[in-house]
Amino acid sequence: MGGEGKLHVVMFPWLAFGHMIPYLELSKFIAQNGHKVSFISTPRNIDRLPKLPPNLAPLINLVKIPLPRVDGLPENAEATMDVRSDFILKKAFDGLESALTLFLETTLPDWIIYDFCPHWLPPIAARLSISSAMFIIINAWFLGFLGPSSVLIDGADPRTEPEHFAGPPPWVQFPTKVAYRPHEIKWLVGASKQNVSGISDLYRVGSVIVGSDVIMIRHCEECEPEWLDLLRELHRKPVIPVGLMPPTVQDSGRGDDKNAISEWLDGQQNKGSVVYIALGSEVTLSQEDITELALGLELSQLPFFWVLRKPPGSTESDSIDLPDGFVERTKGRGVVWTSWAPQLRILAHDSVGGFLTHCGWSSLIEGLMLGRPLIMLPFLVDQGLNARVFEGKKVGIEIPRDERDGSFTRNSVAESLRLVMVDDQGKTYRDNAKEIKAVFGDKDRQDRYIDSFIEYLENHTRPKKD
């Protein structure tokens, strides 16, 4: 114990800010209950994290472990946003094993909570009698769709052809539309193959699950609970939902940028008229994607705020090419924002009425906790499955795409936007999004999951060896 019955919990997320931020938020919840947290990452990543609240900073120790240099990893690259492909980053990440082991041997924490990546870590925790948990920052249907550990580790997957992933796997015995489209399957095939790190991503996931005492997941029983039950059946160990962890809308921002964004949103005359577009920090849009999305926004005639960032691994000299004349033609009713933007604060603004999203789990939570209907354009990992779930709940629609290559047209973008935002036929999506806010935006309900999670940590520590 960390002293006087308080725990010492180590947090060790994967090197992506979409993972580190939820781990940091969970760290704050742990610290709010008086427990000590050691949050471990690399120096540059620690320096790029949001500042800790002053009341919690004494309980959260930000521990910097230098990332080993490996051939092919760009200088100063320590997160997925710094590289075009994360396979070489995983190889460097595995090099953290010895330094992390020394830290654990020295501090002997009560718990270590880690991500999908460190396949080598569960045996170390077991040897040191440290309770261990895999914390999944995405939802239960994604992990359930991947399958049991035998599929992940041994490659014993009965799905041998791409079309097998276009429907529910054989271990899913309840009705569901959760499945991949043909153009989305490529990443899953790649995840099952050995990469330059020496092993496959699915092997990492399976090994971490098998070696952990418990699976903790950013999910709640009010949203597709059958997937939580499936995970318990597949993996034969506790699966603890920590809730959706909806963030708090704060007056955050960066000086003049914050003021410029607020002034533009304040200047929109009609409540709920603006569509907010953000496709995450990990998605790389092709030039064709950018062109069709831009021209679709123009055709829609809707006010828009588009956060368009350079793809991961870009240099300062890399540029974003919008269609000729697009900025001039949409000036006054649209903004293309190419730097960091306070997404939650924008979504919370009264002028925003819809969210065109890549369907990352954190972004979906932020949009739905505020009752914003969705226009969905998924690209990676769990995003396609997420889109199937929430289209089924009629809180938004997917932009129609070519089933084979995933391409979409400006007309499909414009029609989807107008349907969800203004057309009479889209009222169902707008109404349902407001209704689902009762689950996604209910802080008291979600806080109860955190309370149960903390109680589990307190009551399930391994006895230390003499």
Structure tokens at 75: 């200088």
Lowest mean pLDDT among 310-314, 339-343, 394-398: 310-314
Q: What is the pLDDT of residues 202-246, one digit of tens each?
A: 999 999 999 999 999 999 999 999 999 999 999 999 999 999 999
- What percentage of the chain reaches a pLDDT higher than 90? 79
> Catalytic annotation on 19?
yes
Residue 85: predicted pLDDT: 83
Residue 341, C-beta contacts closer than 8 angstroms, at least 6 positions apart: 257, 261, 278, 307
319-344: average pLDDT: 91
- For residues 41 and 63, give the distance between their C-alpha atoms in angstroms, rounded to a whole number: 6
Domain ranges of the chain: 8-246+442-459, 256-440
The pTM of the full predicted model, rounded to 2 decimals, is 0.93
pLDDT of 192 over the 80 cut: no
Q: Please compute the mean of the pLDDT values over residues 454-458 and round it to a whole number.
A: 97
Question: Is a pLDDT exceeding 60 seen at residue 2?
Answer: no
Q: Is there a common fold for 8-246+442-459 and 256-440?
A: yes
Q: According to the model, what pLDDT value does residue 98 have?
A: 98
Q: Does residue 335 register a pLDDT over 50? A: yes
> CA–CA distance from 460 to each of 129, 218, 242, 463 (Å)?
12, 20, 16, 9
159: tokens are 């799905």
* Catalytic member of 19, 119, 219, 235: 19
349 band by pLDDT with thresholds 50, 70 and 90: very high
Alpha carbon distance 411, 269 (integer Å) = 26
pLDDT confidence of residue 1:
53
Q: Please report where in the chains the tokens 């992940």 appear, as a residue.
A: 152
Residues 369-391: what's their mean pLDDT?
96
Residue 63 has pLDDT above 70, yes or no: yes
What pLDDT, on a 0 to 100 scale, did the predictor assign at position 315? 64
Domain 256-440 has CATH 3.40.50.10860: no
Q: Which CATH code is given to the segment(s) 8-246+442-459? A: 3.40.50.2000
Which residues on neighbouring strands pair with residue 132, listed in sequence order? 112
- Give the separation between CA 465 and CA 452, rounded to whole angstroms: 27
Question: Of the ranges 170-179, 195-204, 422-431, which one carries the lowest mean pLDDT score?
Answer: 195-204
Q: Average of pLDDT values for 127-134?
A: 98
Mean pLDDT value across residues 1-24: 89
Q: What pLDDT is stored for residue 162 in this prediction?
A: 76
Query: Alpha-carbon distance 10 to 99, whole Å?
Result: 14
Residue 318 has what pLDDT? 65
User: Would you place residue 256 in the very low, low, confident or very high pLDDT band (cuts 50, 70, 90)?
Assistant: low
The pLDDT of residue 188 is above 80: no
User: 279 with 338: CB under 8 angstroms?
Assistant: no
Q: What angle do CA 280, 286, 287 make, to 5 degrees?
A: 120
Cα(46)–Cα(157) distance, rounded to whole angstroms? 38
Using 50, 70 and 90 to split pLDDT, how confident is the model at 426?
A: very high
Calculate mean pLDDT across residues 52-66: 97
Specify the pLDDT at position 186. Answer: 80
Q: Is 251 a catalytic residue?
A: no
What separation in angstroms does the CA of 367 have from each of 16, 41, 108, 373, 397? Answer: 21, 28, 40, 8, 14
Place of tokens 């769990």: 382
- Do the beta carbons of residue 343 and residue 307 sit within 8 Å? yes
State residue 332's pLDDT score. 87
Q: What does the buried/exposed string (b/e) look like for 239-259 if buried means 16 or more CB atoms within 10 Å of the residue's CB? A: bbbbbbbbbeeeeebeeeeee
Report, as an integer, the average pLDDT of 82-94: 92
pLDDT of residue 251: 47
| pLDDT tens column, 267-295 | 997 899 999 999 988 888 999 999 999 99
Whether the predicted pLDDT of 418 surpasses 90: yes
Angle between helices 383-392 and 361-369 (to 10 degrees): 30
Count the Cβ atoms, other than its own, within 10 Å of residue 438.
11
Which candidate in 82, 115, 213, 382 is catalytic? 115
Residue 439 has pLDDT above 90, yes or no: yes
b/e map 347-376, b = 16+ CB within 10 Å: bbbebbbbbbbbbbbbbbbbbbbbbbbbbb
Does the pLDDT value for residue 407 go beyond 50?
yes
Q: Which residue has the higher pLDDT, 190 or 216?
A: 216
Q: What is the mean pLDDT of the chain?
A: 92
